[in-house]
Amino acid sequence: MVNEPEARQVRLIPPWWTATVVAFLSILTLLFAGLGLGFSGAMATASLALAVATGGCLVAACSTLTRRRPRRAALDTRADGTVVIDSPVLASVGLLVSWGGLLVACGIYAWVAVTDFDENESPGMTLIAVLAALGTVPDLVRLARGRLYRWRLTLAGDGITYRGYRTSVHAAWGQVRRVEIQRRGPAGVRVEMKDGSFVVPAAAFTVPSEQMLDEIRARARR
């Protein structure tokens, strides 16, 4: 049984971190766009695809990190009392667009490497893009099988359900042992259960982690 005081709002994502991430992604997007305009043929298309990839990440980051988080946000409450908290649509769409851009760039680089390696004006970038794309193959398989998830926290009468990226976990309220704010690695709400734990990342949601914490605790006490 969870019985703890209401959480005080704290800054889990420092401004310098948000500024660093947004600046880094912005610079990469402009860099790849510039390379795309400077190159010609397939390499130009590949560079522009990488600009789309980093631009998608930038959109996803801005949709969550830069959005103002109110102290108490309006929650999507269903007729049966179930509360559903979703990540912003732009976060998921941005990441999917980014993934698509990366795969397109990798496909072009691979094609050029096989058919006309001399046209490759950036072999180092080709290697990085190919390795990054190969690293996403397991997730592509999971996506095709419907096991790659948009970030969502569901608080229902029968328990708590969290889905996000590769994670999908459900626990009855009686299994929840402890709920607390985790400040790093990643920052968010840590839920400890009888047979494990998971973290609801603050960066994936616009609803404050402290509010999610209070909602979870209130239901776990019942």
Question: What is the share, in percent, of the chain residues with pLDDT greater than 90?
Answer: 50
pLDDT per residue over 157-170, tens digit each?
999 999 998 889 99
pLDDT of residue 108: 85
Report how far residue 190's alpha carbon sits from residue 164's, in angstroms, rounded to the nearest whole number. Answer: 14
Reading phi first (left if > 0) and then psi (alpha if -120 to 50, else beta), residue 51 is in: alpha
**Tokens (6 digits) for 65:** 């990190």
Q: What is the DSSP-derived secondary structure letter of residue 119?
A: G
- Break the chain into its structural domains and give their ranges: 15-220
63: left (phi over 0), alpha (psi -120 to 50) or beta: alpha
* Higher per-residue confidence, 191 vs 7: 191
Residues near 150 by Cβ (< 8 Å), separated by ≥ 6? 86, 87, 92, 163, 164
Q: In this predicted structure, what is the pLDDT of residue 118? A: 63
Q: How confident is the model at residue 148 (pLDDT cuts 50, 70, 90)?
A: confident
Residue pLDDT, tens place only, 31-70: 999 999 988 888 899 899 999 999 999 999 999 888 777 7
Query: For 92-123, what is each residue's pLDDT tens digit?
Result: 999 999 989 988 988 888 777 777 666 566 66
What's residue 115's pLDDT? 76
> H-type helices in the chain, by residue range?
15-38, 41-64, 89-115, 123-135, 137-144, 209-220
Given a contact cutoff of 8 angstroms between Cβ atoms, the answer to whether 177 and 220 are in contact is: no
- In angstroms, the CA 75 to CA 66 distance is 20
Cβ-contact 71, 11 below 8 angstroms: no
Q: Residue 3's pLDDT band (boundaries 50, 70, 90)?
A: very low
